[in-house]
Structure 1
Amino acid sequence: MLNLIQNEQMKIYRRLRTWIMALLLIVIVVMAALVSRPGTGANDNWKARAADTIEHNKKELENPGLPDKFKQKLKEDMVIQQYMLDHNYPPAENTLWGGALRASGLIILVTLFTVIIAGDMVAGEFTWGTIKLLLIRPASRAKILFAKYVTTLLFAATLLILMFITSIIVNGFLYGFQSINLPHLTADAAGQVHEGSMLVYTFATYGLKLIELVMIVTLAFMISTVFRSSSLAIGISIFIMFAGQIITMLLLRYSWGKYFLFANTDLTPYLEGQPIAEGMTLGFSITVLVIYFLLFNLLSWEIFRRRDVAA
């Protein structure tokens, strides 16, 4: 099995496009960090802005027509802002961690590049006519397909790690590494502020987006087993990837729309306790994703197992 995975890895990294995608990812992360960097002195008057936010929220809370949920959000924001003033904690968005969290939005690039690889993993063997040479090996079709799938996920993990390390280094130089120990602040319903690890919070954000990446890549891998043309498989995969969110917004008008795959792939709203639709919970989304994950892999296996390669 390890030899199969190693062989698939060699197929990926021997191609020039792989290194172009990696270099392009690094360049885009650096450029995004430079463009999104606040102006000089953005942190100098953060205390004044925090005080203004507290006063503004106090006035808003005097409005009797505000929904209770919105009032609670304002109160939590107030106690966090006051805690920052009391302990001299600058806002995270103007630190190394803020830059790293903004970079998580670029995971869509990692997903795009991995979809290109996934869409070519099986269909490419038919395009180049190497599928017969692959299947005459003593390894079973199940092992071959599993090796290709694992290799695809390893490629995604490699790009994700590359992006994260690049983001930390670039933003460290832009904002300074002195904020490395800045805590992540949260407030409970009782108004108590809790300090958490910003590293853990950042990992959690990336980790939840990684789930979305895995689901889309698994879908692209399944499509690759359906079509013999790698270009067609890649094209369909990319189209579904970008059209998925648009379709989600249309389907969420209906109660059954929450069962749609792309309505559950982004789990980051649950970090803030704000699901994208009423009635959705983290457990619900995970259950839906597990069902889709098993379905995609089952279809991939059945299609690959039954595929006639004699022609």
Structure 2
Amino acid sequence: MQVLRLIQNENMKLYKRKMLWIMLALIVASVILTLVITLKTSDSHPDNWKQTAQQEITENQKLMNQKGVPKAAKDQIAAQMKVDQYRLDHNIAPLFDDTALGFVDNVIGTSGLITLFIIIISASIVSQEYAWGTMKLVLMRPVQRWKVLLSKYLSVLFNALLLLVFLGILAFIVGAIVFGFKDTSFQYVYERNGIIHQTSVFTHFFLFGLSHYIGMIMIAAFAFMVSTLFKNNALAIALSIFIEFAGSIIGSVLAMFGKNYVKYLFFVNTDLMQYIEGSPSIKGMTIGFSIIILLVYFIIFMGVSFLTFEKRDVA
């Protein structure tokens, strides 16, 4: 109960800051911008999607027969042909951009903006208490230090979940109002390891959100650790943003040079969707392997944070 009260207190402090409301406004703006881009660039979906899909299969077959097409490109074309054929065989329309659920699918792709917000919150929720001189007042209460730090981290995760849910609900409402549900597909089809899979589009949204949320948990823990270690939110923000948005590129480059240790880096394991609706970019990686790696790093990040916070003197 004491931790819950501390979380409520952290949330109240966060909601009083303009930063969170600016973040909410930016999320609304991103949805509106996605809507404008969709209306401007996306043509209305064809009345006869089956005919269009059959034409795409025919054109892709011609590309497959051409010389000089790289193997990687041929693999992608072959996968798309399998998906198109599966749709035709099972009468499953594509997830068009100008439908309610197609719009939601586009919008959730912008959830990296929320990750950026969570990095900023995670990096500042501890360090700013030191900067403002309020940390001493917080620790004067008859509360164990670990509970204070835990409440701050749980507050970050709670608000990360709220922002993700807010984005999804807002996208659904806007998509429903503007596009409606005519010709909307409620099934999601994808190819993984040469096999075609079919699932509910809502399951697809949930798994995408869950995977992204796990990534937020990890990057928030990293930013939290750096912020607690150095009491410097600028350093924590800079390092976390670099790892979040450049980590996958770094991992791919190292993998190209045959560096086997790359699969042990935490930022190449945060995208669990690569196992659900795709295949890992680095050989030797499985979803079980990635979960173990993430757990180990999480324990390290939080362990360093708690040990540092417990031992640090507050002037």
In structure 1, the gaps of 5 or more residues are none
The equivalent position to 1:172 in structure 2, one of 170, 176, 196, is: 176
Kindly report which structure 2 residues correspond to 1:65-84, keeping only aligned pairs within 5 A, or say none: 77-84=80-87
Does 1:250 pair with 2:260?
Answer: no
Report the CA distance between 1:48 and its aligned residue: 2.8
Q: Aligned residue for 1:140?
A: 144
Q: Aligned residue for 1:33?
A: 35
The letter of the residue matching 1:149 is Y
121 and 28 in structure 1: CA distance in 2 versus 1, 3 angstrom threshold: same
State the SS of the aligned residue for 2:279.
coil
TM-score by length of 1: 0.87
2: CA distance between counterparts of 1:154 and 1:63?
52
The letter of the residue matching 1:130 is T
Give the length in aligned residue pairs: 309
The equivalent position to 1:101 in structure 2, one of 102, 105, 125, is: 105
State the SS of the aligned residue for 1:92.
coil
Does 1:281 pair with 2:286?
Answer: yes
Task: Select between 59-68 and 222-231 the one with higher mean Cα deviation.
Answer: 59-68
69 and 279 in structure 1: CA distance in 2 versus 1, 3 angstrom threshold: farther
Q: Aligned residue for 2:93?
A: 90
Q: Aligned residue for 1:307?
A: 312
2: CA distance between counterparts of 1:212 and 1:126?
27
The letter of the residue matching 1:109 is L
Q: Deviations over 1:180-231 (max 9, x none)?
A: 662123568897x664211011111121111111111111111111122334
Q: Aligned residue for 1:131?
A: 135
Contact 2:57 2:85 in 1 (8 A): yes
Contact 1:127 1:230 in 2 (8 A): no
2: CA distance between counterparts of 1:66 and 1:181?
32
Contact 1:100 1:167 in 2 (8 A): yes
The letter of the residue matching 1:135 is L
Q: Deviations over 1:54-75 (max 9, x none)?
A: 2245456668999999888766
2: CA distance between counterparts of 1:164 and 1:119?
25
Q: Deviations over 1:231-284 (max 9, x none)?
A: 443344334433433432332231111111211112222223321112212111
Report the CA distance between 1:153 and its aligned residue: 0.5
Q: Aligned residue for 2:267?
A: 262
2: CA distance between counterparts of 1:69 and 1:235?
34
Identity score, percent: 39
In structure 2, the gaps of 5 or more residues are none
1: CA distance between counterparts of 2:131 and 2:38?
42
Contact 1:126 1:229 in 2 (8 A): no
Contact 1:97 1:180 in 2 (8 A): yes
The equivalent position to 1:211 in structure 2, one of 200, 204, 214, is: 214
Does 1:161 pair with 2:202?
Answer: no
The letter of the residue matching 2:202 is L
2: CA distance between counterparts of 1:272 and 1:98?
17
The equivalent position to 1:54 in structure 2, one of 40, 52, 57, is: 57
State the SS of the aligned residue for 2:110.
helix
Q: Deviations over 1:1-31 (max 9, x none)?
A: 2111111001100011211111111111221
Q: Deviations over 1:38-63 (max 9, x none)?
A: 53433335333211222245456668
The equivalent position to 1:110 in structure 2, one of 111, 114, 117, is: 114
Kindly report which structure 2 residues correspond to 1:215-226, keeping only aligned pairs within 5 A, or say none: 215-226=218-229
Task: Select between 194-203 and 54-63 the one with higher mean Cα deviation.
Answer: 54-63
Q: Deviations over 1:114-133 (max 9, x none)?
A: 11111111111110001111
State the SS of the aligned residue for 1:278.
coil
Contact 2:223 2:236 in 1 (8 A): yes
Contact 2:127 2:228 in 1 (8 A): yes
The letter of the residue matching 2:251 is T
Contact 1:208 1:267 in 2 (8 A): yes
1: CA distance between counterparts of 2:30 and 2:190?
31
Report the CA distance between 1:136 and its aligned residue: 1.1
Contact 2:191 2:278 in 1 (8 A): no
The letter of the residue matching 1:51 is Q
